[in-house]
Amino acid sequence: MGSFKSSVFILVLHLLEGALSKSLIQLNNNGYEGIVVAIDPNVPEDDTLIQQIKDMVTQASPFLFEATEKRFYFKNVAILIPEKWKTKPEYVRPKLETYKNADVLVAEPNPPGNDDPYTEQIGNCGEKGERIYLTPDFIAGKKLRQYGPQEKVFVHEWAHLRWGVFNEYNNDQKFYLSNGKREAVRCSATMTGKNEVNVCQGGSCVTRRCKIDQVTGLYEKGCEFIPAGKQKEKASIMFSQNIDSVVTFCTEKNHNKEAPNQQNQRCNLRSTWEVIRDSEDFKTATPMTTQPPKPTFSLLQIAQRIVCLVLDKSGSMTAGDRLKRLNQAGKLFLLQTVEQGSWVGMVTFDSVAHVQSELIQINSGTERNALTNRLPTAAAGGTSICTGLRSAFTVIRKKYPTDGAEIVLLTDGEDNTISACFNEVKQSGAIIHTVALGPSAAKELEELSKMTGGLQTYASDQAQNNGLIDAFGALSSGNGAVSQRSIQLESKGLTLQNGQWMNGTVIVDSTVGNDTLFLITWTVQPPQILLWDPSGKLQNGFLVDTNTKMAYLQIPGTAKVGVWNYSLQASSQTLTLTVTSRASSATLPPVTVTSKVNKDTGKFPSPMVVYAKIHQGSLPILGASVTALIESVNGNTVTLELLDNGAGADATKDDGIYSRYFTAYDTNGRYSVKVRALGGVSTARRSAMPQQNGARYIPGWIENGEVKWNPPRPEVNKDGLRRKKVCFSRTALGGSFVASNVPKAPIPDLFPPCQITDLQAKIQGESLINLTWTAPGDDYDHGRAYKYIIGISTNILDLRDKFNESVQVNTTNLIPKEASAQEVFVFKPENITFENGTDLFIAVQAVDKVNLISEISNIARVSLFIPPPPPPETPSPSLPCPDINVNSTIPGIHILKIMWKWLGELQLSVALG
């Protein structure tokens, strides 16, 4: 088993090394640089908010410094200010900083009143998070009583974001049994406090000690652990950051390994400090001997979008209709994707560069059409990418600095001189989006998008996959209001023979419909095109461009909500259909789908992870049907169903982020990723985000020995769904990645089953244990595992560290189900003491058909609680005459309520027929 553990550790390291984050943060001599805090465009203009952000980070820096034993501090921060706020002399144009790569987003609460600070984490323990979310009221200090000082909360969230640690509290289970004793879920376990409940009735509230539930042995529902105001304990920031004495993270010495919280479940019982210590940051930093300087801030205001297309027209672009396909994709970008008010220029290149258009501002269809007429129509010559880029810089600088400008670079050719302009690219401050077309595009091309934070895409020569149009369609602004962004509703293609039809439907939902475009392309001759709106009316007026082999129809006004039907007929050629739209309203957020992979390089046998985030504003969309289409450089396409089930590659259930492992490598080289999402009868929107990875909402505090209560945190109702279903269709590009080390076929099976992360256990009857978990697969979360190994122990660390020596449960009759199915297994513990007060710890491993073994699951626990026998009845003293009233509001039933006070309070209700 030792060799397996080490191989898993190496695999995890590979995952972390290649982790893909568009964040610009860098650690330089103990100081974090390049942090981007973005103020959402919908936040009302308020200059004090900028100062409050500065104050929060400035005060958080020394707190972070001390909490990390003088290792880390905040060095410089950029604050992104919305375009519609008044301009000031101190505001400068951003360089690589955009809303898309912001590390912190300050946005209005949604729904109103929910000011929970939180961090979006889609990866495993130790993997960086995506982004911190804060509200203006939180930053303004209006939520001190609910969360504690802003600077301490910010450090809590930073630990989620930067080091991939998790919460040490648990809102769903606030207490647990340990050796028969009730304990609050906390870290460290030596933190003192009161276990109290706030009982409210008829406008008045009473605080009392928590009662014990005689069935579970735990405290009653509503019981809260309220930490004492004065503590000797200094940990932990990831439990309750508001306590004055708390200034450190839990270490292996004081970590509460038994507490059923996310940190233990996700990080294999390791303390937050152990996870931080394993980070790349920690390995490259030594404690400082002097105090760090205060953070510096740059104020950046979003400005008009500036884009220059840099398009390859070398001789190789004549192959496979590439030039025609470039024209089709370029027209989609110019006619639809790029936003009104943007400045757009165009350069083509072969061995030399040609300026096709200086920067012109798009104010109407006139400018859009003028630009489409400048797209290249002939191809010849060699490939000099740097020449094209330098020409683009010149075009931009005639009107604006290159800071924050975007370059869309498409090439299909090899060019071994590309690295010659890397330094110029870095110094330009421009963002470069790369489109690699065909199998021979320059190998270093992606370095340009990596170093500038641009989008990295790949399109094959398979026209039916629509890769080039998808790549250009994905290039909406990283800074514009979401209501202005182009949204792709459909993208599909098919090769037809002998007058065959390509039939289908597109859903236009109520959140989109403005500026809707239907675009059809072909490879030989125009097909028959039939399109009906939801009322059944046939649509006419397609503009046909026989030179470019495309036709398009722009729907005037707002497209009708409902199902649009299309039928396309052709023979012996390939057709594609693309439908794009924009939000129907500036105030109603559209349903959006964004997709990405966990890293930009995949080294066999390390799996890739594909993610798709489906939200409406900040609210997740649940129950969607989501598939990823992954195309290799060979032209082979693999279809993956992405899941939001909290198992396998998916970190959190029902958060609107759908995930899956990809292991079906077939060759080395580039792979493109595209996601299709459909919302139907079972799809719904959460009415609120469940709190996941964020600072603890403080139920109350102790003042002069008395508990003072905060209002209850707004809870998500049980399934958190609005009744109204959400029907929609979307496609989104997930970028591309490059695979290496893939052996020639037949490819060996080196993929173990994935780790089980949602194991749960409960007592059934008096002596049985009921286990549930989501089935892993044969290869991570695909296929079917061969068998399970279940180990039990009364010592949680022995089970983790010596799983093979634990008592093994007989699983002969337990046959694994297909990946993602729910497993249920009931057993009676044998060969182990299981009596009143016993804590039993349980873990599972999955084994595949070639005997590869998964990591040990999260550790579940059961505590056997046998309630004491009721005390013998003693004669009751005579009672005073009670108040009696008859409630006869229900026909045929009288409820006799007898209430009195006698040595405490007693309520009795008797139903009389």
Q: Which residues are catalytic?
A: 157
Contact in structure between 111 and 139 (CB atoms under 8 Å): no
Question: What whole-number distance in Å separates Cα of residue 176 and Cα of residue 216?
Answer: 10
* Helix boundaries (H) for 128-258: 136-139, 144-147, 150-163
CA nearest to 249, candidates 234, 270, 229: 234
CA nearest to 721, candidates 682, 755, 760, 757: 682
Per residue, what are the HEC states of 236-291? CCCCCCCCCCCCECCCCCCCCCCCCCHHHHHCCCCCHHHHHHCCHHHHCCCCCCCC
Tokens of 340: 């009104």
Pairing of strands 822-827, 768-774: antiparallel
Residue given tokens 């059409």 in the structure block = 369
Q: What is the SS3 assignment for 63? A: helix
Q: Is 30 left (phi over 0), alpha (psi -120 to 50) or beta?
A: left
Question: What whole-number distance in Å separates Cα of residue 432 and Cα of residue 452?
Answer: 6
C-alpha dihedral sign at 178, 179, 182, 186: negative
CB atoms under 10 Å from CB of 301, counted, come to 19
Identify the bridge partners of residue 89 per DSSP, sorted by sequence position: none
Contact in structure between 483 and 586 (CB atoms under 8 Å): yes
Beta strands in 617-759 (DSSP E): 619-622, 625-632, 637-642, 657-662, 669-679, 684-686, 700-703, 706-709, 721-725, 728-740
Rg, Å, the chain Cα set: 30
Pairing of strands 204-209, 193-201: antiparallel
Report phi then psi at 477, rounded to 5. Answer: -65, 140
Report phi then psi at 292, rounded to 5. Answer: -75, 155
Q: Name residue 153's amino acid.
A: V
Q: How many residues does the chain have?
A: 913
Question: What whole-number distance in Å separates Cα of residue 586 and Cα of residue 24?
Answer: 30
Distances from the Cα of 857 to the Cα of 2, 154, 160, 612, 642, angstroms? 17, 31, 22, 25, 21
Q: What is the SS3 assignment for 317? A: helix
Tokens of 174: 């606030």
Question: What whole-number distance in Å separates Cα of residue 494 and Cα of residue 573?
Answer: 8
Q: What is the SS3 assignment for 482? A: helix
Question: What whole-number distance in Å separates Cα of residue 738 and Cα of residue 601?
Answer: 5
Return the H-helix or E-strand segment holding 447.
Answer: helix 445-452
